[in-house]
Homo-oligomer: A and B are copies of this chain.
Amino acid sequence: MSTVTDLLTANRRYASTFTHGNLTAPPTRRIAILTCMDARLDPAKFLGLSEGEAHVIRNAGGRANPDALNALVISQQFLDTNEVVVIHHTQCGMTGLRDEAVTELLSERFGGPVERQQYGGFDDPVQSVLDDIATIRADARIPDDLPISGFIYDVETGLLTPVD
């Protein structure tokens, strides 16, 4: 558990100078960010977000999968956000990933049949951002006039490029 011990040491250091104890749940910038779990991405840092300012939803690829859509609905209906930003990135581990290949690998490694799931792999991050914006728009629980923008984060430069 040495990694966790290190994280807890860092946490005590963080708490020792903590100044955000009076924040409430609704994000002050009224925005939700949907992005990838990738370790190279620190969305708060690369977007200049402080504690309390934005919801951050992260999964494999930053996809608008069913649970991410549920999170966006909660964010908008209960915590007053009114804008979404979808950010995928270069060199994503989900590039080229096929559900069949994942299922096959799991069956091999775990020695038995594994139910096939939708993991959300894609071929092109620009297209996957466009697809996810369309998926969010198509959800009956999302307001028609919700501003949604999309970007690609470049892991080699730290820069965002808009997807139009």
Interface residues of A, Cβ cutoff 8 Å to B:
1, 3-4, 6-15, 18, 20-23, 25-32, 37-42, 44-60, 63, 65-68, 70-71, 73-75, 77-79, 83, 85, 91-94, 97, 102, 105-106, 109-110, 112, 114, 117-120, 140-141, 147, 149, 155-160
Contact = CB atoms under 8 A, between A and B. Distances in A.
A17 to B, nearest CB: 9
Contact of A77 (B46, B79, B106): B106
30 contacts: A1-B149, A3-B83, A4-B149, A10-B47, A10-B48, A11-B46, A11-B47, A12-B159, A13-B48, A14-B46, A15-B157, A15-B158, A18-B157, A20-B158, A21-B155, A25-B38, A26-B39, A28-B39, A37-B56, A37-B57, A39-B52, A39-B55, A44-B45, A56-B58, A59-B68, A66-B66, A70-B118, A70-B119, A79-B93, A106-B141
